[in-house]
Amino acid sequence: MSMIAIPDRGIYLASRSPRRRELLAQIGVRYHLLLFRSRAGELPDVPEDSLSGEAPAAYVERMAREKAESGWRRMLQRNLPPAPVLAADTTVSLDGKIYGKPANREHAADMLAALSILLGKPFVVGDFIDAQGMMGTVESVGLRSTRMRTLSGDELIFPNKKLLEGTIRNYTRMPERRVDFRIGVTYDTPPAKLERIPGIARDAVQRHPLVRFDRSHFRAMRDWSLEFDVIYFVASSDFAVYADIQQQINLELMRRFEAEGIGFAFPTQVVEVKGPRIED
């Protein structure tokens, strides 16, 4: 499904149903009425007479589709900005295509959630997001589901309703990325060298034009290391840019620590054995 521009006003409503308007109000979707009589006695845009022998359910579905199609034509005739056209029974005309009556309540909820995504735009195709604990690039937004490609290449398909139930973090829209990482050094590091570590970290971080250094401090005394934190901001939302900068900072820290004679800590355990003294 191709993406289309959404007008600021919201969607177009091809139904006079009070229930439809109430539902849109509940989910916070603004609408503009497309089907209406401009003068008293004017015929409706879509003839609402039932066909001979037509079952009530078939009549409702046919009316919804015809109103959605008529609404799309009216939108084009008026040169209005293209947007979803919603008719009765959650029948939607989108980009000239008709998506009919949902098979069940879950399908209907996914269709309405898709409208919320298209209108609210928490993300668009191409954005890198974190949703339901999974990170990846949005590849498509459909009326029932959203597809996302992870960094490892896996394709994830989220039902739209489930997707909107959780928190969505859009990394593409971050003006800058905050980085907080730790450095652990050995317990035998002299205090004079410990005092120099925040300055060494600052110098290593500030070498990059896209980086804004925040702070570095002696954070804690862990079981097997003396821990420092280093916090800085990258003026880019691109994960690859962040990864390249972090790699350069790590290499610079290793060079500086080697020159200063400061050792990185790794998990160790000292075992002290006590026993009876053996006399000669």
The catalytically annotated residue of 49, 89, 130, 280 is 89
Question: CB atoms < 10 A from the CB of 22, how many?
Answer: 9
Beta-ladder partners of 213: 232
Strands 211-221 and 226-234: antiparallel
CA gyration radius for the chain?
A: 30
Cα separation, 17 vs 268, whole angstroms: 71
Query: Which residue in this structure is represented by tokens 């990864």?
Result: 243
Phi and psi at residue 38, to the nearest 5°: -80, -25
Sign of CA dihedral 169, 162, 63, 26: negative
SS3 breakdown of the chain: % helix, strand, coil, rounded to 5? 35, 25, 40
CB 6 within 8 A of CB 81: yes
- In one-letter notation, the amino acid at residue 44 is P
Based on the residue annotation, tell me whether 89 is a catalytic residue of this protein.
Answer: yes
Nearest by Cα to 35 from 12, 5, 18: 12
Name beta bridge partners: 145. Answer: 159
CB 88 within 8 A of CB 66: no
The one-letter code for the residue type at 12 is Y
Q: Which long-range contacts (CB under 8 A, 24 or more apart) does 47-50 make?
A: none
Q: Which residues belong to the active site?
A: 89
